[in-house]
Structure 1
Amino acid sequence: MNKLDEKSSSPPGSGFDSRLGSESPNLGDRLRTLWSHTGLRQEDFATRLGITTVTLQNYFKNIRLPNSDFIKQTCTEFSVTPEWLLWGNGPMLRGNAQVAPADAQAKCPIPPGEPQWMAPDAAPSMGYALVPKVMARLAAGTGSLETEGKVIGYYAFKLDFLQRKGHPKNMVLMDVAGDSMEPMLLDGDTVLIDESQREIIAGAIFAVGIEQEVFVKSLLRVPGKLVLQSRNERYAPIEVDMNGDLAGTVRIIGRVVWSCREYVR
């Protein structure tokens, strides 16, 4: 691998880079923004994408344009949305999640004697992974339009626990609104969603988007239809004709792999 000059061998910073959308006018700039966000050395970033550092620098400078395989690899490896990478539209990270400003983050007092904070970079070495919780609420009912998806905080989970459930890098926490999934899920419960698990398993619970609404339901696939089932018998199943007008608006966000409930608020 070719050696780079000292100025380009380390990222400009390991924090979140706000140069998104129209402020990153071309693919090369957005690719550089992503590299900065990862905190990796250029050599390591290029290796994870299966290219040389020379090729990466050519992409940064728009001397060469990457092919579709590279775009797919980048989006998969770093959980990036292709719309942002290609055109600068929408959020950078998958799951419609972006980091909210510090003053918008949920404030949670830390009990005396407990660690005051956990640096994201240090979490893996301590055996933990930090999972983002987003503002979007999954409707256990007729649908929710609360799909803003901004990150309001990070929650520490034991890494080996998450690995037994799925892929920690692709997990996100959301709250449930409504009573259609009672008694399994109650209004106000928090669910852990693995966005990498999108293959429908009969009876499993998934977060599903239909147009601008987001549901948490058990899924069944029958010939020509996707059926969203509630656990509460008072709610009729929602049937989506996969050959109809709504078919193109249906998206499986991910599978619910865990949930929790507060008894005192």
Structure 2
Amino acid sequence: MTKKEQKSSASDFSSDFPSESRMEFDATISRMVQAIGGKSQEDLASFFEISKDAIYKAGRQGKIPPAWFLTIGKKAGISIDWLVSGVGPMRPGNAQAAPAETQKPAVAPEDDLPWMAPEAAPSMGYALVPKVKARLCAGTGSLETEGEVIGYYAFKLDFLQKKGRPKKMVLMDVAGDSMEPDVWNGDTVLIDESQRDIIAGAMFAVGIENEVFVKYLLRIPGKLVLKSKNSEYDPIEVDMNGDLAGAVRIIGRVVWSCREYVR
């Protein structure tokens, strides 16, 4: 590699993920190959269902996508800290397990699965937030399930800390059009369950009996008002001294949302 190429390669390093020298990069990739029971970078590319060129590109840029660590950690039961640094046991509890392609899914307590902890992989500066199957109704509809976790999504830890408590955050999908154009049918919202004190005009996830709504909240004497953004929907007024008072629960404040354009 020429001095010009070395300078260019160094300039590609990103603060979003720990920068690595070429030797460190190769060592990390080798650990990944070992973790999946592979023999080459082609095996690793096949595991991720990407082209081998994507591996080469990561090497040129001097950084490895965090999703690669999280995917191996989850699928193969590998310690993320070990993948990143090579320090510590390869697997949580130093348990012996089969390579990823032959290993059967294991059921273990959440505390034993570092990739499932809300503040997992701190050395990478990322946190994992659980997404639950329950759909928030932005109109009408029923709660599909009581918080069944269907996956984990990586966020920058400092991003989450600016918005609340990462360990108390959860992702849910929204169903209905009553919050359009602020939140559309099918959008995903990030809820901080530690923020339950009502702030006038803020968006919250609210449970009423067996339904969950995402609404703007207002408090008036003796009543809680759930207000939609869509003018076609009338506000829902809950008498806090009535029969439904005990059935109302503030789940948490909506602190962020996202939208997919290809499903």
Shared fold (TM-score, shorter chain, > 0.5): yes
Once the two structures are TM-superposed, the CA of residue 250 in structure 1 deviates from its matched residue by 0.4
Residue in 2 that maps onto 1:178: 176
Once the two structures are TM-superposed, the CA of residue 110 in structure 1 deviates from its matched residue by 5.9
Q: Distance in 2 between matches of 1:172 and 1:144?
A: 19
Q: Distance in 2 between matches of 1:110 and 1:246?
A: 50
Once structures 1 and 2 are overlaid, which stretch shifts more, 254-263 or 147-156? Answer: 147-156
Contact 1:204 1:219 in 2 (8 A): yes
Cα 1:208/1:160, change in 2 over 3 Å: same
Cα 1:110/1:123, change in 2 over 3 Å: farther
Residue in 1 that maps onto 2:68: 116
Alignment of 1:143-162 (within 5 A): 143-162=141-160
Contact 1:134 1:151 in 2 (8 A): yes
Contact 1:147 1:213 in 2 (8 A): no
Whichever residue aligns with residue 180 of structure 1, its letter is S
Q: Distance in 2 between matches of 1:216 and 1:189?
A: 11
Identical positions, percent: 79
Once the two structures are TM-superposed, the CA of residue 254 in structure 1 deviates from its matched residue by 0.1
CA deviation map 1:184-223 (0-9, x unaligned)? 0000000000000000001100000001110000000000
Alignment of 1:1-265 (within 5 A): 111=50, 112-113=54-55, 114=65, 115-118=67-70, 119=80, 120=114, 123-265=121-263
Contact 1:147 1:214 in 2 (8 A): no
* 4+ residue runs over 4 A deviation: 109-112
Cα 1:150/1:249, change in 2 over 3 Å: same
Structure 1: tracts of 5 or more residues without a match: 1-108
Q: Distance in 2 between matches of 1:110 and 1:157?
A: 22
Once the two structures are TM-superposed, the CA of residue 144 in structure 1 deviates from its matched residue by 2.5
What's the C-alpha RMSD, in Å, of the aligned pairs?
A: 1.7
Once the two structures are TM-superposed, the CA of residue 123 in structure 1 deviates from its matched residue by 1.1
Q: Distance in 1 between matches of 2:236 and 2:166?
A: 30
Cα 1:239/1:126, change in 2 over 3 Å: same
Higher helix share: 2
Q: Distance in 2 between matches of 1:142 and 1:229?
A: 13
Whichever residue aligns with residue 168 of structure 2, its letter is N
SS at match of 1:172: strand
Q: Distance in 2 between matches of 1:128 and 1:135?
A: 23
Cα 1:110/1:238, change in 2 over 3 Å: farther
CA deviation map 1:16-49 (0-9, x unaligned)? xxxxxxxxxxxxxxxxxxxxxxxxxxxxxxxxxx
Structure 2: tracts of 5 or more residues without a match: 1-47, 56-64, 71-79, 81-113
SS at match of 2:182: coil
Whichever residue aligns with residue 168 of structure 1, its letter is P
TM-score, scaled to structure 1: 0.57
Whichever residue aligns with residue 192 of structure 2, its letter is D
TM-score, scaled to structure 2: 0.57
Q: Distance in 2 between matches of 1:199 and 1:149?
A: 21
SS at match of 2:68: coil
Q: Distance in 2 between matches of 1:153 and 1:246?
A: 33
Q: Distance in 1 between matches of 2:244 and 2:167?
A: 30
SS at match of 2:69: coil
Contact 1:129 1:156 in 2 (8 A): yes
Whichever residue aligns with residue 162 of structure 2, its letter is R
Once the two structures are TM-superposed, the CA of residue 142 in structure 1 deviates from its matched residue by 2.2
